[in-house]
Amino acid sequence: MDSMVLELGYALDTFYFLMCTALVMWMAAGFAMLEAGLVRAKNTVEILNKNALLYGVACIVYLVVGYNVMYPANPISSVIPGIDFLLGGDNSTESVTAGGDDAPYYSSMADFIFQAVFAAATMSIVSGAVAERMKLWPFLIFSVFMVAVIYPVEGYWKWGGGFLDQLGFQDFAGSVVVHMAGAAAALAAVILVGPRKGKYGKNGEVRAIPGANLPMATLGMFILWMGWFGFNGGSELKIANVEEANAVAKIFVNTNAAAAAGMVVAALFARFLFGKTDLTMTINGALAGLVAITAEPLQPSAGLASLIGAVGGLVVVGSVLALDKLKLDDPVGAISVHGSAGIWGIFAVLLSNEDATFMGQLIGTAATFAWMFLASMAVLLVIKMIMGLRVSEEEEMEGMDVHECGMQAYPEFGPEHMSSK
């Protein structure tokens, strides 16, 4: 009977892990729709191509090497992980039914695929920030290095048992390990490729460049919101007893509360600042609330989770405006959503998690940002020297769809079609 109970628990936890993986994978569609909605029509096919291909590249690279860097069998030190290739076997029935604290309670293959979709999500953050002017294939080459080494190294520092974990740095599902990390890489890319033509005037004025399909962007936001239940809920890693089942339910409630509060507060703040309810701020407010609660979705009450999300909504609006003042052009607000709200979220952990310390959170955030920014900058500079990062001015003006992909997303509205009418 004990053996059957252990096997049933193993099966249930594995199944839950895999269903959460499917939800996080679905976030790839959310990123694609969000970004495709917030770019101009002439760049839609390229951004969709970018999101589809980066997912494929990330999954292949993480399978070949990235997972073993992030979770090394034989780490060199608490800072430098080991390196190995491909995956080993899965857990045996005997290891599961032996019981005890060291017995596995879910499939190691489930763990791999869950971590793989996290790696792809981290890379997706970069995609939107460099939209409409970074070449497709240099971006994909960068994604190889990002998923093979750059992201797994800092992931090892926390989730692989490295020095940040030993220091007591607390990041439940990745406000910093995933979101701010992706934003730091995105910031390096944005600095190197520069702003879109016409975004900023000579006297410092900021010109809005509206996206082509806001219904699609809104759909993307809701897909990401749905996927976040797997992102945060799956990070509990277990559900097969009353305590863990209750914990997962609470994580879902807090995740949803933070997103709702972030969305509403961002909309109200935008209304206060501009006199209008800016849909892009509404969308990014929800995403900022989700990012902010990701660092600790279990310990807060639903009320505190709402407050954390609400502050995230304020932070993202202020951050978007600040980045434009600095002439850092981020078409989808990725750096503000994932970076600024991620930093707020990691320090909000101090409000509910007694194991967190200010210095631990500060060192973890600073170390992760420094590594992600500098390593990304170095790789991108090499790629820039070899093949360039940015499309030509002519390609940017005419659209990346035609020049990079040879097709248009909305051909019936293209100049050739309209001129024949």
- Report the DSSP beta bridge partners of residue 134: 390
pLDDT at 197: 94
Backbone phi and psi for residue 134, each to the nearest 5 degrees, phi listed first: -95, 135
Q: SS3 of 372, please?
A: helix
- 395: burial class by Cβ within 10 Å (0-12, 13-18, 19+)? middle
Residue with tokens 């740095």: 169
Tens of pLDDT, residues 306-349: 999 999 999 999 999 999 999 999 999 999 999 999 999 999 99
Q: What is the pLDDT of residue 416?
A: 55
The DSSP H or E segment spanning 285 is helix 279-294
Q: How many CB atoms are closer than 10 A to CB 400?
A: 26
Q: What is the 3-state secondary structure (H, E, C) of 295-332?
A: CCCCCCCHHHHHHHHHHHHHHHHHHHHHHHHCCCCCCC
The pLDDT, as a whole number, for residue 32 is 97
pLDDT value, residue 103: 86
Torsion of CA 291, 292, 295, 300, to 10 degrees: -130
What is the pLDDT at residue 202? Answer: 85
Closest-CA residue to 294 (of 358, 224, 362): 224
- Burial per residue of 151-160, b for 16 or more beta-carbon CB atoms within 10 angstroms, e otherwise: bbbbbbbbbb
Left (φ > 0), alpha (ψ -120 to 50) or beta: where does 300 sit? beta
Query: Tens of pLDDT along the chain (421 residues)?
Result: 588 888 999 999 999 999 999 999 999 999 999 999 999 999 999 999 999 999 999 999 999 999 999 999 999 999 999 888 888 889 888 888 888 878 888 999 999 999 999 999 999 999 999 999 999 999 999 999 999 999 999 999 999 999 999 999 999 999 999 999 999 999 999 999 999 999 999 888 899 899 999 999 999 999 999 999 999 999 999 999 999 999 999 999 999 999 999 999 999 999 999 999 999 999 999 999 999 999 999 999 999 999 999 999 999 999 999 999 999 999 999 999 999 999 999 999 999 999 999 999 999 999 999 999 999 999 999 999 999 999 999 999 999 999 999 999 888 776 555 444 4
Place of tokens 């919101």: 225
Q: What is the pLDDT of residue 420?
A: 45
Secondary structure tally for the chain: helices H, strands E: 19, 0
> Which residues, at least 6 apart from 231, have a Cβ–Cβ distance to it below 8 Å?
20, 23, 24, 27, 118, 121, 173, 174, 294
Cβ 117 vs Cβ 58: under 8 Å: no
